[in-house]
Amino acid sequence: MKYLLTLFLFMSTLFISAQDTVVQTSVNGLLSHNLNQISSLANAFTEEQYDWRPAEGVRSVGEVILHTAAANYFLVSKLGFPIPADVDMAGMEKIKGKQQILEALNKSFAYAIEKIGETKSDDFSKEIDLGFNKLTTVATMMVVLEHTGEHKGQLIAYARANGIKPSWSN
């Protein structure tokens, strides 16, 4: 009986601990999915197509990707994590070249996923001032996810306008 009680308490602790990170794990799973699809699209564009834009005054393919990367850093930094010292936020959208842009994108997602994973569940209801809105920590994590999804959709439209079919669609 003592053995069963010990086992039950141990399993209960594991279950409670697992519940403690369900939000972070869920957001990161969806962020990884968005990264995979954005990377697939970004790789499908040619170097020359990175300068393509649907109209004057609208972001180019490369600018959309860099904007997404910069927003990952900005939004996640609002959760209380410093932006890496080697990231130049002021110069982010000035990066040129397909490979350099892809590297910036991948690095920003790695940062976002790592830091969201480090977010403490005790801070979920903490108010975050994003400058354009005040949200909770959980809502801010949702903004990161939604923002990457928004620009994934924009890149899908750009790809189709350039005769590129997303690899996962019909």
pLDDT at residue 146 above 80? yes
The distance from CA 33 to its chain's CA centroid, rounded to whole angstroms, is: 9
Beta strand segments in the chain, E: 127-129, 134-136
Q: Using alpha carbons, list the distances in angstroms from residue 126 to 24, 115, 129.
A: 15, 16, 10
pLDDT at residue 20 above 60? yes
Name the 3-class secondary structure at 95: coil
Question: 8 pLDDT band (50/70/90 cuts)?
Answer: low
pLDDT at residue 4 above 80? no
- Per-residue pLDDT averaged across 70-90, rounded? 96
The pLDDT tens digits of the residues spanning 22-36 come to 999 999 999 999 999
- What integer pLDDT is reported at residue 70 of this predicted model? 97
Name the 3-class secondary structure at 135: strand
For residue 129, the surrounding DSSP H or E stretch is: strand 127-129
Question: 164 pLDDT band (50/70/90 cuts)?
Answer: very high
Q: Is the dihedral of CA 53, 66, 71, 162 positive or negative?
A: positive
The CATH code belonging to domain 23-161 is 1.20.120.450
Lowest mean pLDDT among 46-50, 65-69, 72-76, 163-167: 163-167
